[in-house]
Amino acid sequence: MTYDLVVIGAGPGGFDAAVAAAGYGLKTALVEKDFLGGTCLNRGCIPTKLWLGATSAIDELRNQAKMKVASGEVVVDFPALQARVQKHLSGTRKAMAMQLKKLGVDLVEGFGKLTGEGKVTVDTADGEQVLEYKNLILASGSKPIFFPGLEPDGECVLDSDMFLAQETMPSSLIVVGAGFIGLEMAQVAHRFGAKITVIDAMDRVAPLEDPEVSSALHSVFKRWKWDVLLEQRVAGVTTVDGQGVLTLDNREKITADKILVTVGRGPVTDGMGLAEAGVELLFNKVKVDEHLQAAPNIYAIGDVNGEIQLAHAAAHQAHYVAARIAGKADTPYAPGPVPSVLYGSPEVMRVGLMPNEAFLMDFDTAEVSKAPLAANPMAQAHAATQGFVKVVWSGGKVVGVTAVGHDVSRLTLGATLIVEQGWTEEDVHKTIFSHPSLDESLLMALKAERTKVQ
Amino acid sequence: MTYDLVVIGAGPGGFDAAVAAAGYGLKTALVEKDFLGGTCLNRGCIPTKLWLGATSAIDELRNQAKMKVASGEVVVDFPALQARVQKHLSGTRKAMAMQLKKLGVDLVEGFGKLTGEGKVTVDTADGEQVLEYKNLILASGSKPIFFPGLEPDGECVLDSDMFLAQETMPSSLIVVGAGFIGLEMAQVAHRFGAKITVIDAMDRVAPLEDPEVSSALHSVFKRWKWDVLLEQRVAGVTTVDGQGVLTLDNREKITADKILVTVGRGPVTDGMGLAEAGVELLFNKVKVDEHLQAAPNIYAIGDVNGEIQLAHAAAHQAHYVAARIAGKADTPYAPGPVPSVLYGSPEVMRVGLMPNEAFLMDFDTAEVSKAPLAANPMAQAHAATQGFVKVVWSGGKVVGVTAVGHDVSRLTLGATLIVEQGWTEEDVHKTIFSHPSLDESLLMALKAERTKVQ
Give tens-digit pLDDT for B285-330.
999 999 999 999 999 999 999 889 999 999 999 999 999 999 999 9
Q: CA of B114 to nearest chain A CA: how many angstroms apart?
A: 30
Q: How far apart are CA B410 and CA B415, in angstroms?
A: 9
Residues of A in contact with B88 (CB under 8 A): 377, 380
Residue B69 contacts A, CB cutoff 8 Å: yes
- For residue B451, the model assigns a pLDDT of 98
A336–B431 C-beta distance less than 8 A: yes
The domain in which residue B222 lies consists of: 157-263
Flag whether pLDDT at A307 surpasses 90: no
B437–A341 C-beta distance less than 8 A: yes
DSSP state of A335: -
Count up the domains in chain B and report the number. 3
> Same structural domain for residues A273 and A256?
no
How deeply is A283 buried, as exposed, middle or buried, from its count of CB atoms within 10 A (0-12, 13-18, 19+)?
Answer: exposed
Helix residue ranges per DSSP H, A142-264:
160-164, 180-191, 211-223
Flag whether pLDDT at A131 surpasses 90: yes
Q: Helices (H), strands (E): how many in chain A? A: 13, 27
- For residue A87, the model assigns a pLDDT of 96
> Same structural domain for residues A197 and A315?
no
Residue B371 contacts A, CB cutoff 8 Å: no
Q: What's the whole-number mean pLDDT along residues A350-379?
A: 97
The last residue of a domain, from among A263, A284, A307 = A263
Q: How far apart are CA A158 and CA A166, in angstroms?
A: 9
Q: How far apart are CA B21 and CA B29, in angstroms?
A: 10
> Same structural domain for residues A278 and A137?
yes
Flag whether pLDDT at A346 surpasses 90: yes
Q: How far apart are CA B84 and CA B92, in angstroms?
A: 12
> What positions of B carry a catalytic annotation?
435
Binding site as annotated, residues of A for FAD: 49, 112, 303
**B307 lies in some domain:** yes
Mutate to test the interface with A, among B49, B64, B68 (most CBs of A within 10 A): B64
The last residue of a domain, from among B248, B263, B278 = B263
> Same structural domain for residues A348 and A402?
yes
Residues of B in contact with A56 (CB under 8 A): 60, 382
Helix or strand or coil: residue B267? Answer: strand
> Same structural domain for residues B140 and B13?
yes
Residue B98 contacts A, CB cutoff 8 Å: no
A313–B432 C-beta distance less than 8 A: yes
**A150 lies in some domain:** no
- Which residue in A57, A310, A433 is closest to B74 by CB distance? A57
- Which residue in B50, B56, B439 is closest to A413 by CB distance? B439
DSSP state of B291: T
Interface of B with A in 292-311 (CB under 8 A): 310-311
- Which residue in A72, A335, A380 is closest to B50 by CB distance? A380
Q: CA of B181 to nearest chain A CA: how many angstroms apart?
A: 14
> Same structural domain for residues A321 and A346?
no
**B330 lies in some domain:** no
If we measure between CA atoms, which residue out of B42, B15, B13, B38 comes closest to residue B28? B15
A75–B72 C-beta distance less than 8 A: yes
Residues A162-190: b if buried by 16+ CB within 10 A, e if exposed: bbbeeeebbebbbbbbbbbbbbbbbbbbb
Q: How far apart are CA A122 and CA A190, in angstroms?
A: 42
Taking CA atoms, what residue in A is nearest to B423? Answer: A417
Helix residue ranges per DSSP H, B232-351:
311-325
- For residue B307, the model assigns a pLDDT of 82
- For residue B77, the model assigns a pLDDT of 98
Interface of A with B in 247-266 (CB under 8 A): none
- For residue B41, the model assigns a pLDDT of 95
**B152 lies in some domain:** no
Flag whether pLDDT at A124 surpasses 90: yes
Mutate to test the interface with A, among B62, B421, B432 (most CBs of A within 10 A): B432
> Same structural domain for residues B166 and B251?
yes
Q: How far apart are CA A336 and CA A330, in angstroms?
A: 17
B53–A383 C-beta distance less than 8 A: yes
If we measure between CA atoms, which residue out of A302, A287, A283, A333 comes closest to residue A8? A302
> Same structural domain for residues A407 and A357?
yes
Q: What's the whole-number mean pLDDT along residues A263-287?
A: 95
- CA B157-B160-B163 angle, 5° bins: 65
- One DSSP character per residue, B53-93 reads HHTHHHHHHHHHHHTTSEEEEEEE-HHHHHHHHHHHHHHHH
Q: What's the whole-number mean pLDDT along residues A347-371?
A: 97
**A43 lies in some domain:** yes
Binding site as annotated, residues of A: 49, 112, 177-184, 264, 303
A409–B437 C-beta distance less than 8 A: yes
B52–A69 C-beta distance less than 8 A: no
Taking CA atoms, what residue in B is nearest to A51? Answer: B381
Residues of A in contact with B430 (CB under 8 A): 336, 420
Taking CA atoms, what residue in B is nearest to A52? Answer: B381
**A333 lies in some domain:** no
**B140 lies in some domain:** yes
> Same structural domain for residues A23 and A134?
yes
Residues A99-110: b if buried by 16+ CB within 10 A, e if exposed: ebeeeebbbbbb
Residue B278 dihedral angles phi and psi, to the nearest 5°:
85, 15
Can you say whether the dihedral through the CA atoms of B436, B438, B442, B445 is positive or negative?
A: positive
B77–A49 C-beta distance less than 8 A: no
Residue numbers of chain B with a pLDDT score lower than 70 = none
> Same structural domain for residues A81 and A228?
no
Q: How far apart are CA A219 and CA A199, in angstroms?
A: 15
Binding site as annotated, residues of A for NAD(+): 177-184, 264
B409–A413 C-beta distance less than 8 A: no
Q: How far apart are CA B286 and CA B302, in angstroms?
A: 10
Q: How far apart are CA A32 and CA A93, in angstroms?
A: 12
- Which residue in B56, B340, B413 is closest to A60 by CB distance? B56
> Same structural domain for residues A192 and A231?
yes
CATH code where residue B65 lies: 3.50.50.60
Q: CA of B61 to nearest chain A CA: how many angstroms apart?
A: 6
Residues of A in contact with B340 (CB under 8 A): 434
DSSP state of B274: T
Helix or strand or coil: residue A419? Answer: helix
> Same structural domain for residues B252 and B270?
no
Residue A85 contacts B, CB cutoff 8 Å: no
Q: How far apart are CA B251 and CA B278, in angstroms?
A: 46
Taking CA atoms, what residue in B is nearest to A375? Answer: B92
Residues of B in contact with A340 (CB under 8 A): 434
Residue B40 contacts A, CB cutoff 8 Å: yes
Q: What is the dihedral of CA B306, B310, B312, B313, to 10 degrees?
A: -30
Residue A341 contacts B, CB cutoff 8 Å: yes
CB B251: neighbour CB atoms within 10 A? 7
Mean pLDDT, chain B, integer? 97
- Is B182 known as a binding-site position? yes
Q: Are B170 and B39 in contact (CB under 8 A)?
A: no
Q: CA of A149 to nearest chain B CA: how many angstroms apart?
A: 33
Helix or strand or coil: residue A414? Answer: helix
A382–B53 C-beta distance less than 8 A: yes
> What positions of A carry a catalytic annotation?
435
Mutate to test the interface with A, among B69, B90, B410 (most CBs of A within 10 A): B69
B68–A437 C-beta distance less than 8 A: no
- Stated as kind and residue range, the H or E segment containing A229 is strand A227-229
β-sheet bridge partners, residue A387: A405
Query: What Rg do the C-alpha atoms of chain A give, in angstroms?
Result: 23
Q: Is the peptide bond before B152 cis (omega within 30 degrees of 0)?
A: no
Q: How far apart are CA B328 and CA B341, in angstroms?
A: 31
Q: CA of A313 to nearest chain B CA: how many angstroms apart?
A: 7
Residue B425 contacts A, CB cutoff 8 Å: no
Can you say whether the dihedral through the CA atoms of B96, B98, B102, B105 is positive or negative?
A: positive
- Is B193 known as a binding-site position? no
- Which residue in B88, B337, B381 is closest to A380 by CB distance? B88
**B151 lies in some domain:** no
Q: How far apart are CA B6 and CA B107, in angstroms?
A: 10
Q: How far apart are CA B367 and CA B454, in angstroms?
A: 9
- For residue A145, the model assigns a pLDDT of 92
Residue A413 contacts B, CB cutoff 8 Å: yes
Euclidean distance between the first and the last CA atom of chain A, given in angstroms as a whole number: 61
Largest CA distance in chain A: 69
- For residue A1, the model assigns a pLDDT of 87
CB A388: neighbour CB atoms within 10 A? 21
HEC per residue, B122-140: EEECCEEEEEEEEEEEECC
The last residue of a domain, from among B238, B263, B288 = B263
Q: How far apart are CA B240 and CA B244, in angstroms?
A: 6
- One DSSP character per residue, B166-203 reads -SS--SEEEEE--SHHHHHHHHHHHHTT-EEEEE-SSS
- CA B257-B384-A346 angle, 5° bins: 100
Residues in chain B: 454
